[in-house]
Amino acid sequence: MKGAAHYDFCRTILDSGVILTSDRPSPIIGARENNLGSTLNSQVRLIQHPEDEREFANAVLAEDAVRLINGPRWSTEEPQTFRSISAIAGNYCIIWSPQDRAKLSARYIPAQNDWYCDAEMVTIQFLRSQLIASTIIEGRIAISTTHAEAAEAKGVERRFKALSRFIKKRYLNSVLCWYSPDNPIGPATSERTANPSAPDSHVWVGPHALHWLNQNRNRHVKQFMTSTVHAQLVDIAQLAERMSQKS
């Protein structure tokens, strides 16, 4: 597949919303053994359009015992739980199963007159992507089971790995390059990184987000809204080349 055929191939994939796959691993923040058993600290960075999030939430809630919680700060000692992502008002969603730990503990914060979850080691942190005008804010799922009991950690890690597999079977990495308008364009040197960057293999882009970004090349991704650094899709020819190598 050469020349214009590359463009047509990639355009067809992007416009059709076909699910793309990649077997590149996400980065492991750290893992070690302690007297509580095997522990895992890991994250998967992701870019989700609201439709990607809806499909992901369906996968999360396919396990009947799983509950969603609106962030780590609660008005009562025990949090209100939900079985719908639409019930989560904030961008920080806790994914929890009572099968791992029957009750989540929290400590009272007098200055705030609320309760803060201190059992996040038995939950999955889901930071939701945000679609704001022409920008999608990066999200992630993450766990840190270092201080969990072995039986608790086993359930959380099993669930996290299953959700990671769900993402990596359906999303695509190495399709975003980061660009800083405040720095000169050029390759990496001994004093600075390349600008724009090489395609980022650590960020996984959902198929609906990929389609949305490609509809208007002025659309981009940021890690937080006030940042001037942003990421855009790789050149369409580069993406087509990569796809042709996978076919």
Q: Which residues contact 245 (CB under 8 A, 6 or more apart)?
A: none
Are residues 120 and 178 part of one domain? no
**What are 168-220's pLDDT values in tens digits?**
999 999 999 999 999 999 999 998 899 999 999 999 999 999 999 999 989 99
Whether the model clears a pTM of 0.85, i.e. scores above it, the answer is no
Residue where a domain terminates, one of 151, 169, 187: 169
Are residues 122 and 64 part of one domain? yes
Beta strands 203-205 and 37-47: pairing type?
parallel
**What are 74-133's pLDDT values in tens digits?**
999 999 999 999 999 999 999 999 999 999 999 999 999 999 999 999 999 999 999 999
Are residues 62 and 49 part of one domain? yes
Are residues 140 and 177 part of one domain? no
Are residues 54 and 137 part of one domain? yes
Residue where a domain terminates, one of 111, 134, 169: 169
Nearest one of 123, 82, 73 to 99, comparing CA atoms: 123
Provide the residue range defining the domain that includes 58.
Answer: 28-169
Residue 42: how many CA atoms within 13 Å on its side-chain side? 19
Are residues 213 and 160 part of one domain? no
Are residues 34 and 119 part of one domain? yes
- Angstrom distance (rounded) from CA 209 to CA 71: 24
Residue where a domain terminates, one of 148, 169, 190: 169
| End-to-end Cα spacing for the chain | 10
The tally of domains found in the chain comes to 2
Proportion of the chain above pLDDT 70, given as a percent: 79
Structure tokens at 195: 């600008």
